[in-house]
Amino acid sequence: MKGTAKIKALSALFAVTMLSATSITYMQTVKAEDGLKDDGLPNGISKVMVKPATNDGPLDEIFSGWHFRSKETKNLQKDDFENPGYLWVEQGEELWATKDGSEGKSCKSCHNDAAKTMKGVGAEMPKWNAKLKRPLTLEQRINTCRTESMGAKEWKWESSQMLSMTAFVRNLSRGMPMNVQADGPMKPWVEKGKKIYYTRVGQLNMSCSNCHEDNYGKYIRADHLSQGQSNGFPTYRLKWQKLGSLHRRFKGCMKNIRATPYKPGSDEFVALEIYLSQRGKGLEIETPAVRN
Amino acid sequence: MAKSKPRVKAPKKASKGDIVTIKTLISHIMETGLRKNKKTGKIIPRRIINKFQAKFEGTEIFSVDLDPAISANPFFQFSMKAEKSGEFEFIWTDDNGEVYSKKSKLTVS
């Protein structure tokens, strides 16, 4: 018994030493673990990349949450058939052509073939809407279409239909770099998001940056902290056993630090989404990603 | 997701004696029957896929009895030695009595 305890203590010490080293050579570690060069990544998985100078963020390297997951989870995402997120993508494809509302229209009635008209759209969301004078996330844009053009009821943020449609549309941009506008009218929203990102909240008095900027690559108890990039959303989370939106993830994070979460679709979360998207600008869309 | 939708990935063609791999996935909530509704305090009734069967030309080649501990959207992968042409049939049985099935043809040359 004593011997095992000693080994355990030693290995714990070793783990601690290892951890302190990770942040310096994280990029190399990640690449070595995957056995991958940048061009050897499976289809639709974002490369480790040096942060473009235009992004507002202090990290030198940015990478997708994919690199922080276990081999088993990665394998689920690598194969489009095994990836359960595709169940939603397929449902979204059906919904695209399903008529709804008083106008008797479907998405297809206006936008035709999604594969052509929606390619790249998901990579640019949230996007400034000149008419409403505010940025709209993909979810909000879809609901605007539904209420204004289709005469249909809004979908709830976390409903199966909304998740399916956002997953379907974002999936059409898979492999394309995130490209959110951050200047012009979007500037105040980026600033607002940045402020939220760095503000400590909750009983644990933590901000987003405490985990995802200062300590990514390390473990917080059993959680392997990622950089908190948004390129894989909506994401199939094994914990949720279903697809979930980015705002649901935000809510989860806020609960973890014992804070009162903002509402999905609130201006605060929209601003945070915008700030995050521009932080990860250039990362390729992986929707639907698989995470644990 | 409201209705369960099966997905199957099985080869269409094979040479005699080949080992073919078959993958199946079905969307299903796999409600354990152990959780409570947070508002009412009542137990959410169990609803899982309790049996999965794969048949080839009517003969069972693979089957599983599922239990509540299995995650949502169960995925199965198994293999078979291709001896003759024929049709696969995949059958999922739901607790509520519903049966979902999907067929796929295999040509052996």
B15 is a domain residue: yes
B107 is a domain residue: no
Beta-carbon count within 10 A of A107 CB: 25
B1 is a domain residue: no
Crossing angle (nearest 10°) for helices A160-171 and A86-96: 90
* Window 38-67 of B, Cβ < 8 Å to A: none
B55 is a domain residue: yes
Does the structure show a pLDDT above 80 at A2? no
- Check CB contact under 8 Å for B25 and A81: yes
Residue A145 appears among annotated catalytic residues: no
* pLDDT of the residue at A183: 87
Q: Which one has a higher pLDDT value, A125 or A56?
A: A125
Does the structure show a pLDDT above 60 at A21? no
B21 is a domain residue: yes
Q: Which one has a higher pLDDT value, A272 or A41?
A: A272
Nearest to A207 by CA among A172, A246, A161, A254: A254
B69 is a domain residue: yes
Give the count of domains, chain B: 1
Q: Residue B70 is part of which domain span?
A: 6-34+45-100
Q: How far is B102 from chain A (nearest CA, A)?
A: 16
- Per CB-CB distance under 8 Å, the chain B contacts of A81 are 7, 9, 23, 25
* pLDDT of the residue at B34: 92
* pLDDT of the residue at A25: 46
- The average confidence (pLDDT) of chain B is 90
- Per CB-CB distance under 8 Å, the chain A contacts of B2 are 160
- Check CB contact under 8 Å for A84 and B5: no
Interface test with A, best of B1, B5, B92, B102 (most A CBs within 10 A): B1
pLDDT digits (tens, 9 = 90+) for B3-43: 788 889 989 998 888 899 999 999 898 999 999 999 999 99
Buried b (16+ CB within 10 A) or exposed e, B79-97: ebebeeebebbbbbbbbee
Burial class (CB in 10 A: 0-12, 13-18, 19+), B78: middle
Euclidean distance between CA atoms B61 and A51, whole angstroms:
52
pLDDT digits (tens, 9 = 90+) for A84-102: 899 899 899 999 999 888 8
- Check CB contact under 8 Å for A82 and B27: no
Question: Do A102 and A149 contact (CB within 8 A), yes or no?
Answer: no
* pLDDT of the residue at A10: 46
CATH number reported for the structural domain that contains residue B54 in this entry: 2.60.40.10
B9: Cα within 13 Å, side-chain hemisphere: 12
B54 is a domain residue: yes
B76 is a domain residue: yes
Among residues of chain A, what percentage have pLDDT more than 90?
40
- Per CB-CB distance under 8 Å, the chain B contacts of A84 are 25, 27, 72-73, 75
